Homo-oligomer: A and B are copies of this chain.
Amino acid sequence: MPYHTLLEGILGRGIMANWRYSMNTIITHILTRRSVRSFTEEQIRDEDLDLILQAATLAPNGMNQEPWHFTAIQDPETLRKLEEKVDGTADSFFYHAPTLILVSIEIGNAYEKEDTACAMTNMMQAAHALGLGSVWCNRINHDPKLGVQLSSFGVPEGYKVTGTLAVGYPKGAYSSPRIPKQGTITYIRS
């Protein structure tokens, strides 16, 4: 792991021995992720997109069938054409993000929704860790006809779009951590 090697070189091994420091960073990041619906025009870095897509392909999935495909669209003209196909959007359904990732799943897979959401969550966490914002946009997958008609947008034949993720640099301040609904946890201990 390059990070370890690098930081060990700088700090010596003493501090790295207390791995809980890093754990806390990761947990903090997981807990502070918020959906972002306003983006700057700046395109994300190619290496960041690659990491986000890696996180998708390494997400947990049912029986490890990996029945998914990820189509990252950054071409403004393609995004504009896709926008035209989506009904009922007064404004951009992906909030004018510079990058839109279509998640599609082999039609008929029993875990289509779970696998989609696992990949989406991994991508959202990866984007957040990279200082980017993202939001799950449902407009395409809420339209059963449209979801299976996007082969000209890089969705493989036999797959249907089950979720889309808008990604970009957040415009304005990042939202404070959400206060979760209370009373949603029960402990059963000895």
Residues of B within 8 A of A71 (CB): 185-186, 188
By beta carbon, the residue of chain B nearest A24 is B3
Report Cα–Cα, A67/B114, bound state, in Å. Answer: 16
By beta carbon, the residue of chain B nearest A31 is B58
Binding-face segment, A89-97, A126-134, A166-174: A126-134
Number of interface residues of A (CB under 8 A): 76
Chain multiplicity (copies)? 2
Interface positions, chain A 19-34, Cβ under 8 Å from B, are: 19, 21-31, 33
CB < 8 Å neighbour of A113 from B113, B121, B188: B113
A88 within 8 A of B: no
Residues of B within 8 A of A30 (CB): 55, 58, 122, 125-126, 129
Report Cα–Cα, A21/B129, bound state, in Å. Answer: 11
Residues of B within 8 A of A33 (CB): 58, 60
> Do A185 and B60 have beta carbons less than 8 Å apart?
no
Residues of B within 8 A of A28 (CB): 1, 3
Q: What are 12 A-B interface contacts by the 8 Å CB criterion? A: A3-B24, A7-B21, A26-B26, A26-B129, A27-B126, A58-B177, A64-B178, A114-B116, A115-B117, A116-B117, A117-B121, A121-B121
